[in-house]
Amino acid sequence: MSENGTAYTFILAPNASIMTGAGTNTIVLGGGEAGALVIDPGDEQEEHLAAIIRAGEQRGGIRHILITHGHPDHLGGAEELRQRLAVPISAFSRQGVPCADREIADGTIFPAGNDQLRAIHTPGHRFDHLSFWLEQRHILFAGDLLAGSGTVVIIPPEGDMLDYLDSLRRFQQLPIKEIVPAHGPIITDPQQRLRTYIEHRQQREQQIIAVLQAHPQGDDLSSIVQQIYTDIDPRLHVMAAQSVKAHLLKLAREGKAHSPDDEHWTIVPDPHGLRDLRV
């Protein structure tokens, strides 16, 4: 457990895995008359729940549980915590988080001590993804929009690459001082990291377009993955294929690629004979 001044308490959930890294970063913040908020109580292990409750008691008691999105590593302890504390669970939608008591609209504000926390709908990693913006402190609790190290996996159909890039760009307009991701260390160069994420996706998309242009009759998803991911263990190609498919579906939405079956893909010729490879 660690403190960042009085802004928030950071508690690492004991749910480390190949997908979660060291575990999920559970956040406790706020306090005073409105009570404390907890974001993503990621595991129901007793010691983790006890640490969350202690951190909340130091801030006047937890009054609300907020979920960034409905992946299990973000809400693993939510129902048990609700039962112990008799407080509601809120998320963007019950479709994404069936255990939610309340649905949060984009722009919803929660009192957070002498600050306020604004919910921002940031689909892309998942359709129901929320990030939370601590307005006066200029801290972004980003869920799985970004990671403290590495990149974020976009898996269709729940994930959408076009929405994801739009969500990243939305935060380029905010004066962010730090980003607290759901996995990995705190990001202290927020605008540079956002640019890096966007550029990475642009470069990957250009690679995919180049492969399709080299095969005018089309190419299979597995073949595209093998041609692009030449420097990783082939055992990871299954996961890489999810990212490539997300890019291909984005290109299809933009009228730049086509597939009859989501497996065999062709480039859509530019009617002007030119192709802008920028996203």
User: What's the pLDDT tens digit per position in 92-145?
Assistant: 999 999 999 999 999 999 999 999 999 999 999 999 999 999 999 999 999 999
pLDDT surpasses 50 at 279: no
At the second CATH level, the architecture of 2-188 is 4-Layer Sandwich (3.60)
Confidence bin at 20 (pLDDT 50/70/90) = confident
- Kindly report, as residue ranges, where domains of CATH 1.10.10.10 are found in the chain: 197-267
18-22, 28-32, 159-163, 257-261: which has the minimum mean pLDDT? 18-22
How high is the pLDDT of residue 220? 94
How many other C-beta atoms are found inside a 10 Å radius of the C-beta of residue 272?
A: 7
Tell me the whole-structure pTM to 2 decimals.
0.91
* % of the chain residues with pLDDT over 70: 95
- Kindly report, as residue ranges, where domains of CATH 3.60.15.10 are found in the chain: 2-188
pLDDT surpasses 50 at 276: no
User: What's the pLDDT tens digit per position in 217-229?
Assistant: 999 999 999 999 9
Strand partners, 2: 10
Strand partners, 91: 103
User: What's the pLDDT tens digit per position in 35-94?
Assistant: 999 999 999 999 999 999 999 999 999 999 999 999 999 999 999 999 999 999 999 999
How high is the pLDDT of residue 272? 58
pLDDT surpasses 50 at 277: no
How high is the pLDDT of residue 1? 42
Confidence bin at 271 (pLDDT 50/70/90) = low
Rg of the Cα atoms in the chain: 20
What is the CATH number that goes with domain 197-267?
1.10.10.10
Mean of the per-residue pLDDT values of the chain: 92
How high is the pLDDT of residue 232? 80
Confidence bin at 274 (pLDDT 50/70/90) = very low
